[in-house]
């Protein structure tokens, strides 16, 4: 297992739970701020506007998160409503609503006036579409990363590793040792395209600014009174955020793609100019959360290109065996994969151990003609 972020850590855990003799390699520790899974939190959504097939994936992942929470006695998920809102006709809001209804849930639609009354930090325009879905949560990623590493114990090699595919396996070399594996899973985050240049042509890495804003009305943005939110302000203008559950301010960021960068381009810190659109969105739509920036960070999204053999707008995950090799590749996230880690880890483990298993078609490389 090369790469032990959320996806790689979940896959290593699934392999070890199945009794497989597996090792994980990663020089970056859980507390580092230079990995796709860094930071204290991600959004867990049960109903996902990106793909209607994701509801079952969310359910599977939720079971895994609850299992980890029960076994560890630590908080992995903090249940929180998810408010999604956008201009009239927002495809994002309509897709989330349809996903909930398709699962037999009560219609999550709400008027803007109702939302503003229930969550006083908001001031959504009267003509905006709104849904408030249950089944959402704050995923405590920093806690999860530490738990995954602790559970794997001495099966983790905290060193940088290179790999060389062979007909009958994969050799893996660190600065001090060489190993030979029957198969190797590559969950390298933004570095995957560098490791496999042919795949790199289908991936791009973007810089994503993140800020924490001092709330004007602290009580109105506290956990229990304020939801996770995703606001669709128009093309390429989506802003998301969290309640102030850490007494650190309201975490908020753009979900649209930032500039393309390299996998090592984690600096400099997010600038005022990068975060100005987020501050403007809060001032206009969530005035209770608007205020000066008190902390900032940078995330890197690894985004997949649109497929040309399936109906796919891009940003789907790649979870598949690499052609003519004993490698398995995992390029997830595109900014929204973290919540699925237990389910994706199970898929990666099965790809490595069950020759008859295939991931869902919308995750396979064959959706691209160059891999068909």
Q: What is the pLDDT along the chain (372 residues), one digit of tens a residue?
A: 999 999 999 999 999 999 999 999 999 877 666 666 778 999 999 998 888 788 999 999 999 999 999 999 999 999 999 999 999 999 999 999 999 999 999 999 999 999 999 999 999 999 999 999 998 999 999 999 999 999 999 999 999 999 999 999 999 999 999 999 999 999 999 999 999 999 999 999 999 999 999 999 999 999 999 999 999 999 889 999 999 999 999 999 999 888 999 999 988 999 999 999 999 999 999 999 999 999 999 999 999 998 998 877 777 899 999 999 999 999 977 678 899 999 999 999 999 999 999 999 999 999 999 998
pLDDT given at position 346: 98
pTM of the predicted protein model: 0.95
300 secondary structure, DSSP code: E
Please report the pLDDT score of residue 32 as a whole number: 66
pLDDT value of residue 30: 72
Query: How far, in Å, CA of 117 to CA of 123, rounded?
Result: 9
The DSSP symbol for 260 reads B
**Residue-level pLDDT at 33:** 67
Positive or negative, the Cα torsion across 165, 177, 30, 56?
Answer: positive
Place of tokens 């204290």: 40
- Which stretches of the chain are assigned E, i.e. beta strand? 24-25, 42-44, 77-79, 82-86, 109-110, 129-133, 137-139, 156-157, 162-166, 169-173, 178-181, 184-186, 203-213, 228-232, 238-241, 250-254, 293-304, 318-321, 327-331
The answer for residues whose C-beta is within 8 angstroms of residue 256's C-beta and 6 or more apart is: 236, 237, 238
Rounded Cα distance between 335 and 282, Å, is 20
Q: What does the pLDDT read at residue 257?
A: 86
Question: Tokens for 16?
Answer: 């070890």
Q: What is the pLDDT of residue 311?
A: 78
SS3 content of the chain, % helix, strand, coil (to 5): 30, 25, 45
DSSP assigned state of 118: H
């Amino acid at each position: 297992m090369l790469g032990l972020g959320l996806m790689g850590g979940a896959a290593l855990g699934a392999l070890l739970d199945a009794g497989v003799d597996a090792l994980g390699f990663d020089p970056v520790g859980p507390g580092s701020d230079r990995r796709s899974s860094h930071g204290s939190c991600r959004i867990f959504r049960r109903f996902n506007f990106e793909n209607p097939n994701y509801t079952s994936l969310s359910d599977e992942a939720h079971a895994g998160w609850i299992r980890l929470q029960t076994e560890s006695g630590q908080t992995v998920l903090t249940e929180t409503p998810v408010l999604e809102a956008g201009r009239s006709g927002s495809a994002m809001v309509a897709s989330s609503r349809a996903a909930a209804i398709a699962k037999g849930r009560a219609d999550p639609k709400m008027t803007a006036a109702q939302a503003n009354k229930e969550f006083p930090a908001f001031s959504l325009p009267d003509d905006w579409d709104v849904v408030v879905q249950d089944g959402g949560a704050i995923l405590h990623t920093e806690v999860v990363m530490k738990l995954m590493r602790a559970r794997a114990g001495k099966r983790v090699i905290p060193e940088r590793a290179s790999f060389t595919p062979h007909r009958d396996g994969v050799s893996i070399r660190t600065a001090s040792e060489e190993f030979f594996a029957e198969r190797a899973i590559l969950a390298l985050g933004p570095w995957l395209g560098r490791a496999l240049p042919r795949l790199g042509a289908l991936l791009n890495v973007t810089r994503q600014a993140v800020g924490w804003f001092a709330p004007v009305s602290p009580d109105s943005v506290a956990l229990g009174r304020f939801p996770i939110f995703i606001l669709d302000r128009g093309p390429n203008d989506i802003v998301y955020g969290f309640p102030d559950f850490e007494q650190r301010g309201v975490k908020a960021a753009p979900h649209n793609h930032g500039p393309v960068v390299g996998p090592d381009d984690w600096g400099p810190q997010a600038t005022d100019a990068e975060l100005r659109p987020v501050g403007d969105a809060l001032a206009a739509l969530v005035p209770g959360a608007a205020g000066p920036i008190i902390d900032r960070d940078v995330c890197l999204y690894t985004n997949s290109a649109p497929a040309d053999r399936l109906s796919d707008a891009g940003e789907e995950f790649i979870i598949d065996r690499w052609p003519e090799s004993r490698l398995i590749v995992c390029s997830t996230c595109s900014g929204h994969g973290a919540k699925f880690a237990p389910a994706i880890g199970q898929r990666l483990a099965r790809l490595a151990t069950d020759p008859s298993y295939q991931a869902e078609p919308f995750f396979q490389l064959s959706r691209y003609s160059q891999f068909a």
